[in-house]
Amino acid sequence: MSVSNPTDSVGLVTPQSYHFDEPLNLRSGKVLSAYDLMVETYGTLNGEKSNAILVCHALSGDHHAAGYHSAADKKPGWWDACIGPGKAIDTDLFFVVSLNNLGGCAGSTGPASINPKTETFYGPDFPVVTVRDWVQSQLRLMDRLGIEKWAAVIGGSLGGMQVLRWAISYPQRLGHAISIAAAPKLSAQNIAFNEVARHSITSDPSFHAGHYLRNNTYPKQGLMLARMVGHITYLSDSAMRAKFGKTVTDFGATGNNFGRDLRTGKLSFGLNVDFQVESYLHYQGERFSENFDANTYLLMTKALDYFDPSVDYEGDLAKAFANSGCKFLLISFSTDWRFPPERSREIVNALLKAGKEVSYLEIKADQGHDAFLLPVPRYICALATYLKRVHQELAAHAS
Amino acid sequence: MRPEFEIIQKCIRPGSRVLDLGCGDGSLLHYLKNTKQIHEIGLEIDADNIEKSIFNGINVIQQDLDRGLDNFQSDSFDTVLLAQTLQALSNPAELVDDMLRIGRNGIITFPNFGNWKSRLYLFTRGRMPVSKFMPHQWYDTPNIHFCTVKDFDALCREKNITVLTRTVVDSQHQGSWAMKAWPNFLGEIAIYHLTKRSGDQV
């Protein structure tokens, strides 16, 4: 796909920065006195301002969810599979808002921004931000855009957690909460993987206790390793077997070699990269480390670890949703072992207990956690059908 | 299915909370939403049916009835529906208990295996009845727990379930005085409105 073929693409988009002067009181007790949010929008806001959808990004996402920044771009935004004219999140019907969250590294204020007080990079001094803080800043953006109520708030993974937080913190400001491949809180295993990622960054000699930018360097090795370990948790065993098992083995014509494709056709009997999967992880890590800020990665994983909206409600998630006035759609994927279907069902059951209107789908998909970003037909169809209903409701309400 | 919907809707209070176990394409709940303004949730296992339910604008949860309904609180719904699904469950008695725990009342519809046609088929041919209405062979049928009106009455007695109404009709959903007199012999479809509550708790 390229920009020259834009029939189902939002085409060229230009991000816009919004400055906010009103201090933001963070969950940690700290205060962010002023900040910028980098935002992209797709489609047109209607006269009643009722057709707006907020898209929340996951761990390594940003505001660039759809379309292209320039004709030279090889890849579109991270959720181009879902956002565009005639796509599931149909920009012919909806006005889609996507932003880079606070603490990010794609234009919104974060650790790689300049701290006005010290006139140097925030680095590790950037306050820890939580999902609740993000949603609060998203509310301010919403007010700035003059939107009274989101038709829907949608997100996958960490984005899906922001969706849940919206329904809890601002229950009357959204019509539908669509949370995909999420969890009500992280498990010990989830936190463990995050800690390995963090430790690999902080133990890199170039980390300089987070002040690497002042030292004109960055913890490339640590960030690479963090991404490599993270990436494994996004894929399923079956997805890896399929992706790296294309070669037919000498032993039979079944073609199933358990994903053990070799890089050069033979084993090196050394400590070299022998298998395709190794080379792939190196490539993913390398590419990621060139485009992502290490302090942001640390912050994002902390936001994941800290997410647990039930803590304010005696550990009862149902109570957290008591005031939610929106309808819910939860979607999970069969081979997702990072946030498996059981975790989505926990959310569904809490919503049922709270007497909320909820729909839930468990999509059969081989791709693991990554499936939420991919054009899995049943998933895309269901999302499209659901959002068409949302749009019909809006139209019925307006008439 | 429309005539059955009409019989069912007579038992539904306007604005009530309704749970449909095995909601199919959601058309029954859609109908009840339009006629009775209910607050609905449907449970369904089939992917195509789930999408049709979404298309019909009803809340639908992907859930296998054979894995129980532990995730539903007692008395969380006014009415729980089980339409033409009882015979396909692996543990129907347990599910009936669960239905009447979750809902203040329940509506169950099922094909009556005691109908004279089934009896005649078995009597004359000595083989499991196959008809337009029940088109499966014994080995590939999803209907693994057929029962008769008499069997179901016995289950209700055993479980101290109150039968609020029992309607018995033919496959065109037509009733008659004869079917009322000999429901187990003449009825093809049975529609039960049940409860375990008493008085105004129903």
What CATH number did the domain enclosing A239 receive? 1.10.1740
Nearest by CB to A378, from B17, B39, B47: name it: B47
Compute the average pLDDT of residues B133-145. 90
How many domains are there within chain A?
2
Confidence band (pLDDT; 50, 70, 90) for A2?
very low
Rounded to an integer, what distance in angstroms lies between the CA atom of residue A379 and that of residue A183?
18
In a domain, A201, yes or no: no
A30 and chain B: CB distance < 8 Å anywhere? no
- The two tokens of residue A168 are 């809890």
Tell me which chain A residues have a C-beta less than 8 angstroms from the C-beta of B60.
Answer: 359-360
Residue A3 has pLDDT above 60, yes or no: no
- Phi, psi of A277, rounded to the nearest 5 degrees: -60, -35
Nearest by CB to B61, from A360, A381, A386: name it: A360
Compute the average pLDDT of residues B125-150. 91
Are A279 and A352 in a shared domain? no
Subunit contact B59:A385, Cβ cutoff 8 A: no
Tell me which chain A residues have a C-beta less than 8 angstroms from the C-beta of B61.
Answer: 348, 352, 358-360
What pLDDT digit, counting tens, does each position of A338-394 carry?
999 999 999 999 999 999 999 999 999 999 999 999 999 999 999 999 999 999 999
Are A276 and A364 in a shared domain? no
Tell me which chain B residues have a C-beta less than 8 angstroms from the C-beta of A348.
Answer: 61, 71
Residue A250 has pLDDT above 70, yes or no: no
Please tell me which residue, A260 or A39, carries the higher pLDDT value: A39
What pLDDT digit, counting tens, does each position of A319-353 carry?
999 999 999 999 999 999 999 999 999 999 999 99
Please give the DSSP secondary-structure letter assigned to residue A155.
E
Subunit contact B61:A386, Cβ cutoff 8 A: no
By DSSP bridging, strand A176-180 and strand B17-21 are unpaired
Check residue B1 and give its pLDDT: 58
Check residue A254 and give its pLDDT: 55
Q: Using CA atoms in the order A25, A27, A30, A34, what is the torsion angle rounded to 10 degrees?
A: -40
Are A157 and A259 in a shared domain? no
Q: Indicate if the alpha-carbon torsion angle A229, A233, A237, A243 is positive or negative.
A: negative
Which residue in chain A is spatially nearest to B69 when comparing CA positions?
A: A349
Rounded to an integer, what distance in angstroms lies between the CA atom of residue B132 and that of residue B142?
15
Residue A292 has pLDDT above 50, yes or no: yes
Domains of chain B from N-terminus onward: 2-113+145-195 (3.40.50.150)
Distances (CA, A) of A280 to A240, A262, A276, A286: 11, 11, 6, 10
Residue numbers of the domain that contains A352? 16-185+309-398
Are A52 and A116 in a shared domain? yes
Q: Which amino acid is at B44?
A: E
Confidence band (pLDDT; 50, 70, 90) for A1?
very low
Beta strands in chain B (DSSP E): 17-21, 39-44, 60-62, 77-83, 103-111, 162-169, 189-195
Are A125 and A270 in a shared domain? no
Please give the DSSP secondary-structure letter assigned to residue B86.
G
HEC sequence for A288-350 = HHHHCCHHHHHHHHHHHHHCCHHHHHCCCHHHHCCCCCCEEEEEEECCCCCCCHHHHHHHHHH
A352 and chain B: CB distance < 8 Å anywhere? yes
* CATH number of the domain to which A129 belongs: 3.40.50.1820
Catalytic residues of A: 157, 336, 369
If one counts every other C-beta atom within 10 angstroms of the C-beta of residue A352, the result is 21
Which residue in chain B is spatially nearest to A358 when comparing CA positions?
A: B59
Rounded to an integer, what distance in angstroms lies between the CA atom of residue A206 and that of residue A212?
6
Confidence band (pLDDT; 50, 70, 90) for B116?
very high
**Cβ proximity of A344 and A182 under 8 Å:** yes
Tell me which chain B residues have a C-beta less than 8 angstroms from the C-beta of A357.
Answer: 39, 41, 59
3-state secondary structure of A120: strand
- The average confidence (pLDDT) of chain B is 94
Are A389 and A316 in a shared domain? yes
Are A215 and A76 in a shared domain? no
Rounded to an integer, what distance in angstroms lies between the CA atom of residue A333 and that of residue A311?
27
Confidence band (pLDDT; 50, 70, 90) for B3?
confident
Are A34 and A178 in a shared domain? yes
- The average confidence (pLDDT) of chain A is 95
Q: C-alpha angle with apex A178: A296 to B77, nearest 5 degrees?
A: 135
Subunit contact A386:B54, Cβ cutoff 8 A: yes
What pLDDT digit, counting tens, does each position of A81-118 carry?
999 999 999 999 999 999 999 999 999 999 999 999 99
Check residue A7 and give its pLDDT: 80
Compute the average pLDDT of residues A125-138. 98
- Which stretch of DSSP H or E encloses residue A32? strand A31-32
- Single out the residue in A225, A257, A291 at which a domain terminates: A291
Check residue B132 and give its pLDDT: 81
How far apart are the CA of A387 and the nearest CA of chain B, in angstroms? 10
Residue A248 has pLDDT above 70, yes or no: no
Q: Name A164's Cβ contacts closer than 8 Å, sequence gap at least 6.
A: A177, A179, A182, A184, A309, A347
Check residue A257 and give its pLDDT: 82
Rounded to an integer, what distance in angstroms lies between the CA atom of residue A224 and that of residue A230?
10
Are A324 and A361 in a shared domain? yes
